[in-house]
Amino acid sequence: MPDRPNIVILYADDMGYGDLGVQNKKSKIPTPNLDKLAAEGMRFTNAHSSSGICTPSRYALLTGRYHWRKFHGIVDSWDASVFDKAEMTLPEMLQQNDYRTACVGKWHLGWDWAAIRKAGAESVTVNNKKTWEPDAFDWTRPIPDGPTAHGFDYYYGDDVPNFPPYAWLENDRVVDAPTVMLTVTEKTLEGNWEARPGPARKDWDFYDVMPANTKKAVEWIKEQKQNSPGRVRPFFLYFAFTSPHAPIVPTKEWQGKSGAGAYGDFMMQSDWSAGQVLEALKENGFAENTIVIFTSDNGPEHYAFDRVRNFEHYSMGPLRGVKRDVWDGGHRIPFVVKWPGLVKPGTVSDGLISQIDIMATLADFLKIKLPGEAAEDSFSQLQLLRGKASSARPSMVHNTYDKYAIQKDNWVYIDAKDGEHSKMPDWFRTREKYPADNAFGVLLYNLNKDVSQRENLLSRYPAKAKALREELNKIRRVN
C-alpha cells in the first residue's frame, strides 16, 4: 500500500443493516459483490451514521462534524448549501494534498439555485408543494455553491432522485435544460414515487438514474490512468448511490430477481453497481492501492415493515426502528472497509465507529494536520482498523430532528420518551413483542444483552442514565 492510496467511498441511500447479505443469515436479498468486499476487508457491526436521515449524515461524513452542531433536517427542493465557505470538507482536505476528487450521484447538500432564477419569477404550488416552473430559471448559467465549490474537481449526477430539477448536472451546470413539469403521483413497483413536482428534462427516466451514475463512476475511474502528464495522482471518488431510496426503480433485468419484492431487486441492482466499481478498480490496476469504504446514509425507509410481512425479510436486521428514528435501526448501518496492507481480510469488528471518523482516520494515515476546528468530532480509527486496539471513540451521539441519544460502552441513553419518528405498525409491535409506550420520560438500554432495544433499564440503573445524560449535555455543550 503506497503512502497516498486512492480512496473510494460507496454510499448507499436508505440501505438497512439487515440488507447486507453477509450480515443477515435469513436475508432474501443476495449481495454477492458486497459480501466479497467484506471478505476482503473489515466489516463493522457497531457502525453509525450521524443521523437517521439523508442530508445530515452526508454533511457529517464530508466534514467529520456532528450535523446537529449546525442543523437537523434535510435540504429540501431548491434549498441553499449547508456548507460555509470556510468549512473544510473531506474532499477539500484531499484536494489540497494533490488528490483528484470526484463526486458522482446524489448530492443533497444544497446549491445556490437563486443565482440562476430569473428576476420576477414566481413560485407555483403543485400537489401542495411549492416549486418553480422550468422557465423560472436561466439554465445556461453556472449554479454556484455545489460540489465543485466544496472540494470536488468533478461532479456528475442528478442531485436528489426524487427532487427537482429532474436533469443531469455536470460540475456546476445542467447538461440538458428542463423543459417540462413533472408531477408524478401514481404508485411505482413498491411504495410511492415520492417525486416532488418541478422542472424536468423531457422524457426523464427514473429507471436510468442508477445505471447512468454507475457508468459515469466507472468511466471516471478509467480516466485516472492518464489524469496528469507524466504521473498518476491519487484519487478520491465519492459515489453516492440514489438506491435503494424511493422511487424504487429496479431496471427490467433485475425485476423479480430477489425474494424481497421490488426493493430487494433494487438492492440487488445496488450490489451490482458496487461490483461494477470494484471491477473497474481491478481492471485498471487500482485494486491493491485503493481504500474502499462501503456504507449507507441511514436505515431503511418505513416500507421495511411491510417487507417483513410480505417477504420475511428484515431490512433493519435485529435492530429496532427504521429511517428517521433514533432507535438503532435508524442509524446503525452497513460499514465495510477494504484497505490492502492495513486491514486484515475477513475480519469483523464490534468497535464503536462513525462515518464522522473517516476524515480524521484518513488525515492521520496521510499525515495531514487539520486546521482549527476542522473535523472536530472525528476520531482516528487507524488502530481499530489494524486490529491492534479497541475503538478510539469513547462515545457517540445520535440525533434526528429534536431527539438525542448517546451510546457508551454498549449502553444507550435516549433523552426522549421514545426513539420513534417513523411509526411502528401495531401488527409489527405485537409480532416482535415490543413493549407498550414508555412509562418514563427517557430510556436506557444495554445493547450487549438487548440489541433490539426492548427492555428499558432506567428504573434499575438510574445512576447510569444520569451519567450518560450529563455526558450527552457536555458533548452538546448545554447545561
Per-residue pLDDT of 95-108, as tens digits, reads 999 999 999 999 99
At residue 183, the pLDDT reads 87
Which pLDDT band holds residue 186 (cuts at 50, 70, 90)? confident
Confidence of residue 230 (pLDDT cuts 50, 70, 90): low
Q: How confident is the model at residue 338, as a pLDDT? A: 98
Q: What is the mean pLDDT of residues 339-353?
A: 98
**pLDDT tens-digit map of 419-476:** 999 999 999 999 999 998 777 899 999 999 999 999 999 999 999 999 999 999 999 9
In the predicted model, is pLDDT for residue 185 greater than 90? Answer: no
Question: Average pLDDT over the chain, rounded to whole?
Answer: 96
What domains, with CATH codes, occur in the chain?
6-393 (3.40.720.10), 403-476 (3.30.1120.10)
200 contacts 167 by C-beta, under 8 angstroms: yes
Q: Could you tell me the pTM of the whole model? A: 0.97
Angle between helices 209-223 and 261-283 (to 10 degrees): 10
Tens of pLDDT, residue by residue over 365-416, are: 999 999 988 999 999 999 999 999 999 999 999 999 999 999 999 999 999 9
Q: What is the pLDDT of residue 1?
A: 62
Tens of pLDDT along 153-177?
999 999 999 999 999 999 999 999 9
Q: Is the pLDDT of residue 478 over 90?
A: no
Give the closest residue to 41 by CA, choosing from 279, 294, 338. 338
Query: What is the arithmetic mean of pLDDT over 211-235?
Result: 86
